[in-house]
Chains A and B, each alone.
Chain A
Amino acid sequence: QQQVKQSPQSLIVQKGGISIINCAYENTAFDYFPWYQQFPGKGPALLIAIRPDVSEKKEGRFTISFNKSAKQFSLHIMDSQPGDSATYFCAASRSGAQKLVFGQGTRLTINP
């Protein structure tokens, strides 16, 4: 059962451009939505997260936009840099479950 659907599967962006990755969820009980970044040979690392009581959260060049009615959220990377090249996973969790359900991942490549 795929509870979090992520798109696109891969994305190529020019240096300085905006990278946008989208996720949609099914379970309305989810109330915590993080994004993880994974470099080759490493485990995923928490990048930024949001709760549904806000529509946007920004940390540096990374922004999460959240649309509760559409059950969608997205990651925006402004001024994308080659060092941002990695695989990005969205995830979701519900209170009390203490576990994350991950999307399928997006392989992001930033061309110099």
Chain B
Amino acid sequence: EAGVAQSPRYKIIEKRQSVAFWCNPISGHATLYWYQQILGQGPKLLIQFQNNGVVDDSQLPKDRFSAERLKGVDSTLKIQPAKLEDSAVYLCASSLTVVYGYTFGSGTRLTVV
């Protein structure tokens, strides 16, 4: 079974620039998550999709972050404009149901300078 694919692996941008991350979940996984993992901290949920609908985006800074999941498969997360504090690893995960565990991608490491 192919894992969760994410790209790019690394990205360095200047503050106030925009950036986008892409995620392709495991085939058949209806639920997709974007987590932000700041160095030395645990992952923090940004947004949760069920198929192509948003279930939870309560911790997404909506003034600068946006996400979409087209046709219930691939997803993109965008930051515009980026701030220094957005430097983190952005993890995408998918699941059939949470009790079977998430499958995480390897993440995109974003550095904002």
A residues contacting B by CB (< 8 A) are 4, 6, 32, 34, 41-46, 49, 89, 91, 93, 97-105
Contact = CB atoms under 8 A, between A and B. Distances in A.
Interface string B26-55: 000001010100001111110010100001
A104 B38 CA distance: 10
Contacts of A34: 101
B46 to A, nearest CB: 11
Given A43-B105, A43-B107, A89 B99 contact: no
B45 A99 contact: yes
B55 to A, nearest CB: 7
12 contacts: A6-B42, A34-B101, A42-B107, A46-B101, A49-B101, A93-B98, A98-B31, A98-B48, A99-B33, A99-B55, A99-B56, A100-B98
Contact of B55 (A49, A89, A98): A98
Contact of A46 (B4, B35, B102): B102
Nearest to B41: A104
B93 A43 contact: yes
A89 B106 CA distance: 16
Interface of B: 4, 31, 33, 35, 40-45, 48, 50, 55-56, 91, 93, 95, 97-99, 101-102, 104-107
A32 B31 CA distance: 17
B30 to A, nearest CB: 9
A10 to B, nearest CB: 10
Contacts of B106: 41-43
Contacts of B105: 43
Nearest to A32: B99
B24 to A, nearest CB: 14
Nearest to B48: A99
A6 to B, nearest CB: 7
A43 B4 contact: yes
B88 to A, nearest CB: 13
B3 to A, nearest CB: 9
